[in-house]
Amino acid sequence: MKKMASIFIYISLIFVGVYLLSCGPSSWKGYRVEKGEVVIYRGFPASRTIIYEADAKSFTAINDEFGKDKNHAFYLTGIIPEADPATFMYLSGGYSKDKTHGYSRDQLISRDGLNFKIVPDPNEIRPDITMEGSPYAHDSKQVFKDVFVLEGADPATFTFVPMFNGQYLTYDRYRVYFQDKPMEGADGGTFRKVSDFNFADKNAAWGLEMGQYTHWSIIENVDLATFKGIDKNYAKDKNHVYYSAFIVKGADVATFKETGYLLASDKNGIYSSGRPATAKK
């Protein structure tokens, strides 16, 4: 018993040591004020970098990547150009702003700070508060993706639409964009999301085809007046059930329902990713 107890104590001490090491400087991340200097820890094991331009007495860490003092705003170790620390605020992802500018990380991308905003993510529970990771921003004249301008996009109506494997599906009152490029033939003014794999406009229904070259295809002969989503992954009209851009063969429109991730069933059988899996007896 004494031997077993000794082994248990030894193992416990090892775990305690590992835990203490993991809580030490090697696991720190973000800004610290140490001995009158502003430093930032990054990576694992963490490297320590002194930010000599920062004023330790007035420095405030906004998060692990953004901070400010009485003179400057900072992204990691660098000064954000022309930023006004008194009005500087973090927005989301890599975006921030002050009273006259909009920024992506440490790059000045807009001189319209008053109107510089994040394009909301509908999946966020509270789109009115600071969000993490929004991919788009806009001011009164342009739409931005990181430091790049989406040429021709309308900032007043630009909308982000989360879809399966299609986080860059967006639209405005003129166009629909996939991976930030306009989709030929798609009408943004009448865009409606149908499922995670489908949308429709006044002219057509569309399905997301995945593979080496993921793209959206028009679904032929759809009845647009009755085309709607079943749940997340499948859609239907009065005649057929659809998965992506394809008709689900043998599916019964009246009894078809989704049962799980990419799974569904009806009176005729069970389906996986739009294909019959087993037939009901």
pLDDT band at residue 121 under the 50/70/90 scheme: confident
At residue 132 the predicted structure's pLDDT band, cuts being 50, 70 and 90, is low
Q: Which two tokens stand for residue 271?
A: 């389906």
- pTM of the predicted model, to two decimals? 0.83
Residue 84 pLDDT greater than 90, yes or no: yes
Q: According to the model, what pLDDT value does residue 134 have?
A: 72
Q: Do 276 and 270 contact (CB within 8 A), yes or no?
A: yes
User: Distances in Å between the alpha carbon of 217 and those of 87, 97, 197, 209?
Assistant: 46, 39, 11, 7
Looking at residue 28, its pLDDT comes to 80
Whole-angstrom CA distances from 6 to 18, 19, 50, 260 are: 19, 20, 45, 50
Q: Which of 223, 152, 218, 159 is nearest to 192 (CA)?
A: 159
Residue 85 clears pLDDT 50, i.e. is over it: yes
Q: Which residues contact 174 (CB under 8 A, 6 or more apart)?
A: 152, 154, 188, 189
Q: What's the whole-number average pLDDT of the chain?
A: 89
Q: What pLDDT score does 211 carry? A: 83
Q: What is the pLDDT of residue 4?
A: 52
pLDDT confidence bin for 20, thresholds 50/70/90: very low
Q: Which of 29-43, 129-143, 260-274 has the lowest mean pLDDT?
A: 129-143
Domain chopping of the chain, boundaries: 173-281
Q: What pLDDT is stored for residue 32 in this prediction?
A: 96
